[in-house]
Structures are given as structure tokens and as C-alpha cells.
């Protein structure tokens, strides 16, 4: 006797599932919290949610989606989702509902390609810094590799005094010179509103020296914008150096003994703050969540893929962001069709 009909159909479902996702152009964003404390990621222009240490969520977006992602810190919300955050606040709501991050905040920015076109992505310090973040694309289709980008350095510890956001227990964020000073030369406005006129400043050079692949000012495109045809982006906050290849970590601001442990202001930038080098584990410090040591680097770009943690009862937490996208809806319909074939042979 051959295999039962329903077993063969289930094998077909499992075999074709990855193709269904690729054919519909869906891209996932795996958002992970390696910090030693709770954060509240926000996305523009969709949602926001709570993410405890060691937890991960996945969001899906359709081709052509464009937006920003960041993490808020020090938040307090009531049962209705109203409240406030010390950094990265988005209109005083748990769910951002189209509101962007209040500076200073470290931003991941992405525009997904259409019809097989390339994605454009970057990590930006143009609006300041509040947390270390790394973006690691995983390309399962197409040729070549994709670059990790981000800022693993703890700029709060080495932020110049005049840029610090300090709530009494030390800096919790580092403002951009544009926000702190407001001059057109720092903001690339007015007479400085072109790439030729707006040049790096002593302040933006501090950010660039610490995190060479991140945007340090508005026209920092040549070394900070990356392209990829990715199926997934791992957006990791406070990622330790054990979670990424050393060759990438060096360019993302991680301090590695014997490799790049020189002073942060080696470029000659002036600071009145503490010039100590950022710790290797970024804002999480020694208490940051460490990824499992028995996992290997995965994906064509060698990117580390963190585990997905349960978020309360009912399995992995799926926030409402982007869940109604046309791509994810098509995937659900295909699964339903195959389930109907199983139930009604």
C-alpha cells in the first residue's frame, strides 16, 4: 500500500512553503532584544510593542514597504496603551500609529524592492543615538552577499557632555548636534542644504569614528547606504560580539581586544565627556543577554540567526504591525487552500 493521500499532501505543503513566501515577495523582520532590560520597539508607520530581554518577534512586510524601526527605553504605559518613554517616544502611545521616534533615537531605515528589485537599508545616527542596533540581512535568493550594518558601540558612555540626555543617573541617549545646537551647518538646512555645502563636523565625526557603517549626518550616503535582495532582516538591539562575525563587528563599532581597542576620539574630535571606549557588549554591558553558544552562523552572508522566544501564552508573540499586508494575506490563503485539500480528499 502507498502512503495515505493526506500524508503526501502534507509533504507537498512543507516542500512548497518557502516557494510561496518567495513568490509573493514577503520579507520578514526578526526583531531581537539582547539588552539586559525591556525595550519597546516601534515601527513607522505601523505599530509598537514591548520586548523583554531575550525575546524575539517576527514581522512580515510586502514588496515596496518603506519605513523605520527603533527601540524605546524607560517606558510606562497604562492599560489603554497611553504613556511616555524616556527615549524614542512616539506620540505617547504603545502603538506608534504612524508617529515617528522623538530624537534622539538610533534608527533602522529600509525600503523594500518591488518585482525582485533590490532593497535599500541603513542604520542612522542622524537623529542621535539611544541604543546599539545591528541589521543583518539574510539573502536566500539571488547571487552575492549582503552587508551587516549598524552601531554596536555604546555612545551613551562616550557622548560629549553638551549632547547628553541625562536623567540624573548618567546619559541615556546622545543627541545629534543638529538637535542640540540647531544651526543650519549641523542640520544641512538653508545654505547648507546640498551635499557639497554640508560637510562632516567634529560631532558627526565622533559618530562616524565609533560606527563607520552608520549614517553620521544627512549626506553620509556613500559609506552608509546598502542594497540587498533579502528574505529576512535580523534587527538586533544590544547584540554582543559573539552574535556576529568579527570582520563585521569591527566595522560596526564593537570594541575587540587587540583589534580596534583604541580611543573613540582618535580622529581628533573634541569632547568634554568621558572618552572611555565603549564596552564590547554595547549598551547591555556585562549583563546583556548572550545568544546560545552552540548555534552556528547561518545564511549566505554568514549572519547569526537568534532563536525565537515564546511571548506569553499562546506561543510566539505576533504584534499587529504589518500583519494585514497583501503579501502575508496571499500566503495565508495558499495555506488554507492546501488544508482544504487535506480535509476534503
Q: What is the pLDDT of the chain when averaged over all its residues?
A: 74
**Residues 6+ away with beta carbon under 8 Å from 123:** 106, 107, 108, 109, 133, 134, 135, 149, 150, 151, 211, 213, 214, 215, 224
Q: Between the ranges 19-28, 187-196, 304-313, 331-340, where is the mean pLDDT highest?
A: 187-196
DSSP annotation of 276 reads P
Q: Please say if the pLDDT value at position 317 is more than 90.
A: no
Largest Cα separation within the chain, whole Å, is 81
φ, ψ dihedrals at 335, nearest 5°? -60, -40
> Sorting pLDDT into bands at 50, 70 and 90, what band is 115?
confident
pLDDT mean over 237-257: 79
Residue 315 CA to residue 308 CA, distance in Å, equals: 10
Three-class secondary structure assignment of 118-150: CEEEEEECCCCECCCEEEEEECCCCCCCCCCEE
Residue bearing the bigger pLDDT, 123 or 263? 123
Query: CB atoms < 10 A from the CB of 338, how many?
Result: 16
Residue-wise pLDDT for 80-112, tens only, equals 999 999 999 999 999 998 899 999 999 999 999
Average pLDDT rounded to a whole number, residues 213-221? 94
pLDDT (0 to 100) of residue 204 = 95
To which H or E segment does residue 23 belong? helix 5-24
User: 141-146 long-range contacts, Cβ below 8 Å, gap at least 24?
Assistant: 141/22, 141/229, 141/231, 142/229, 145/300, 145/301, 145/302, 146/226, 146/228, 146/229, 146/230, 146/300, 146/301
Q: What pLDDT score does 140 carry?
A: 64
Whether pLDDT at 289 is above 50? no
Cell of 187: 542640520
Q: What is the pLDDT of residue 2?
A: 52
Separation between Cα atoms, residue 203 and residue 311, nearest integer Å: 40
Whether the per-residue pLDDT at 212 is higher than 50: the answer is yes
For residue 298, what are the β-bridge partners?
303
Amino acid at each position: 500500500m502507498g502512503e495515505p493521500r493526506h500524508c503526501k499532501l502534507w509533504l507537498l505543503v512543507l516542500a512548497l512553503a518557502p516557494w510561496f513566501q518567495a513568490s509573493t515577495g514577503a520579507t520578514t523582520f526578526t526583531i531581537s532584544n539582547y539588552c539586559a532590560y525591556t525595550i519597546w520597539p516601534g515601527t513607522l508607520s505601523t505599530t509598537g510593542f514591548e520586548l523583554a530581554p531575550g525575546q524575539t518577534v517576527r514581522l512580515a512586510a510586502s514588496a515596496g514597504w518603506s519605513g523605520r524601526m527603533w527601540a524605546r527605553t524607560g517606558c510606562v504605559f497604562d492599560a489603554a496603551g497611553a504613556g511616555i518613554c524616556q527615549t524614542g517616544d512616539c506620540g505617547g502611545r504603545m502603538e506608534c500609529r504612524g508617529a515617528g521616534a522623538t530624537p534622539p533615537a538610533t534608527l533602522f531605515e529600509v525600503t523594500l524592492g518591488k518585482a525582485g528589485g533590490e532593497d535599500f537599508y541603513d542604520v542612522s545616527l542622524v537623529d542621535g543615538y539611544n541604543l546599539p542596533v545591528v541589521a543583518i540581512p539574510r539573502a536566500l535568493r539571488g547571487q552575492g552577499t549582503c552587508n551587516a550594518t549598524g552601531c554596536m558601540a555604546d555612545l551613551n558612555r562616550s557622548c560629549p557632555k553638551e549632547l547628553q540626555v541625562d536623567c540624573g543617573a548618567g546619559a541615556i541617549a546622545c543627541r545629534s548636534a543638529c538637535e542640540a545646537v540647531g544651526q543650519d551647518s549641523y542640520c544641512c538646512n538653508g545654505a547648507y542644504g546640498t551635499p557639497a555645502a554640508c560637510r562632516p563636523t567634529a560631532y558627526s565625526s565622533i559618530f562616524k569614528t565609533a560606527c563607520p557603517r552608520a549614517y553620521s549626518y544627512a549626506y553620509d550616503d556613500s559609506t552608509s547606504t546598502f542594497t540587498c535582495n533579502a528574505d529576512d532582516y535580523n534587527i538586533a538591539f544590544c547584540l554582543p560580539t559573539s552574535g556576529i562575525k568579527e570582520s563585521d563587528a569591527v566595522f560596526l563599532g564593537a570594541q575587540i581586544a587587540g583589534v580596534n581597542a583604541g580611543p573613540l576620539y582618535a580622529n581628533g574630535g573634541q569632547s568634554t565627556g568621558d572618552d572611555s571606549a565603549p564596552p564590547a557588549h554595547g549598551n547591555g554591558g556585562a549583563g546583556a543577554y548572550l545568544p546560545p553558544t552552540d548555534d552556528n552562523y547561518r545564511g549566505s552572508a554568514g549572519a547569526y540567526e537568534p532563536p525565537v522566544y515564546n511571548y506569553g501564552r499562546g506561543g510566539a508573540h505576533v504584534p499587529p504591525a504589518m500583519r494585514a499586508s497583501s503579501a502575508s494575506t496571499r500566503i495565508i490563503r495558499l495555506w488554507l487552500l492546501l488544508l482544504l485539500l487535506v480535509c476534503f480528499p
